[in-house]
Amino acid sequence: MYTSRILLCGNSKIFSSAKIVGRIKFRGAIERGEFIVPLNAAEAEDFKLNDGDFQIFLNGAEISVDELRKILDGAADYIVFENHEEYLLRFRELYALKLIDRVITLPTLLNYATDNFFSLNNTIQIFNLIHALKLPRTLDVDGFFAKNDYYMFPDFSSKIAGVADVEAYPALKNFYAEIYSKLDECRFRFFDALLLTGERTPEEFIDALIETDHLSENILTFARKNSALENFLFANENSFEKISAFPAVNGSWLWIKKIVRSDFACYVVTHKDAKLKNLPEGYKIIHAGHVFAKEKFGYLGDDSGDNISRLNLYLNEITALYWIWKHTRHNLIGFCHYRRFFTADGENFLTCDEATELLRENDIIVNDCKFGYIALYDWKIMLSGKNLAEHVIKTIRKYIAARQPDYLAAYDRVNNSFGVFCYEIFITRRKIFEAYCEWLFSFIIDATEEILATTDIASSDDPQEYRVVSFVAEHLMTVWLIKNPLRIKILPIIFRDNV
């Protein structure tokens, strides 16, 4: 929690949000009967002080301007005027002494300096730095620009996003490209940088880094001069790729580049010899249903550790998805089929670098939505028969109603729709992958077990029957996607014939 350290020009004794480290008084133009307030910046710039024109007293003892500056560089953050009129009348003298950026009034202290050190110059500086460092898609985690009135200067080309109360101040929409009422709302996003400005202890800063780790590779933060945070960050500089400091009023803006583990994996699901050689870097073949495979091909199997390989006949590639969820920790993760691969140019498989770049401004890569003249509900009946298909659809619906009730309407809509994201193939960031798998496997395994217990699909030789669950399950990603505010990137696929 931020507590301002102030030199008070006034008589108040207690502040809940500030610590009085000294009492300061001045003697100058007012005492000589000169009551001139500069009308503009030029007039203030032209004003000159002569020796002896202005005296400073701290706790009753006279001090020099240099001594006051040293105190403001260490023990105190602001000079606070309790009397607004005195502040205005002292303005030109304090401006001439280059102290004005450390001088505020009591209302300013109470309204603007409760969460972090307040300086209009610092606000302007960090806005310019964001653009100079080419970090336009920065997330203002603490609502810094909103709290410092910068939203009154709309920049319609800005891509800065913010966590702020837009209902209280609708004008924020003129400044922020995107607004979130709380941090959790942007949990699936990725930003060029995060702006952390609230005063934090080293422990609180580490907690913030952990909480937001998936959101960006860069942190912009303000560290007050000689603060515990400043000392901690530079003492642990080797924990980051690089820390760049930009001097500011009463401290520095820090650009922290995190050490990022480049870890991309796109799993290619197969149940046969995929006949794939020289795959792009990061591609890995996984054999779904490996536990019952009559022929092994030397691929990674889905039957080690925590697994559901035994259900592969009914869930198809989803058993491999479960294994990947439980046994990997890749930052960027993809899921495709031995016959279907994403492509950016129509000729070559999507590369790690291409996927990484696309996921900087998108949240998930999927194949384009397929539309047909027959609703999915009717299509499933055509495939597996009315009684069996309806039983499976209703059983899965029952489990969604019990475990994921917020998705029930989306499930009904998709089942009756004419369009769907096909094949359950995607590339996304780990946080999104985890969220989808947690949702999917909260109900699909138990629903499948009940379907096996209430039908005879386990003894059927007809793939249209024993694959009935997978026909419904492969469209569950669409159910999840339409309920989450993701930026979806559509890419075409390369289809491999005769495999």
- Higher pLDDT, residue 13 or 45: 13
* Biggest alpha carbon–alpha carbon distance for the chain: 104
This prediction has a pTM of 0.86
Strand order in 78-81's β-sheet?
Answer: 61-63, 55-58, 18-27, 4-9, 78-81, 103-105
Given a contact cutoff of 8 angstroms between Cβ atoms, the answer to whether 54 and 24 are in contact is no
Given a contact cutoff of 8 angstroms between Cβ atoms, the answer to whether 299 and 284 are in contact is no
Q: Where are the domains of the chain?
A: 4-112, 120-257, 264-495
Burial degree of 305 (CB within 10 A; 0-12, 13-18, 19+): exposed
Q: Is the pLDDT of residue 29 over 80?
A: yes
Per the DSSP assignment, residues forming a β-bridge with 180 are 163
CATH topology for 120-257? Rossmann fold (3.40.50)
pLDDT in tens, 225-268: 989 999 999 999 999 999 999 999 999 999 999 998 779 999 99
Backbone angles phi, psi at 105, to 5 degrees: -95, 170
Given a contact cutoff of 8 angstroms between Cβ atoms, the answer to whether 316 and 470 are in contact is yes
Look-up of token digits 């998108």: 362
d(CA 478, CA 82): 60
Q: Is the pLDDT of residue 92 over 80?
A: yes
> What mean pLDDT do residues 463-484 have?
95
**What is the distance of C-alpha 281 from the center of its chain?**
27
d(CA 429, CA 264): 9
Torsion, CA 199, CA 203, CA 204, CA 210, rounded to 10: 130
Give rounded-to-5 percent helix, strand, coil for the chain.
Answer: 40, 20, 35
Torsion, CA 438, CA 441, CA 444, CA 447, rounded to 10: -110
d(CA 122, CA 321): 48
Identity at 137, one-letter amino acid code: R
- Higher pLDDT, residue 34 or 220: 220
pLDDT in tens, 295-324: 999 999 999 999 999 999 999 999 999 999
CA atoms within 13 A on the CB side of 112: 19
Report the range of poorest mean pLDDT among 116-120, 228-232, 458-462. Answer: 116-120
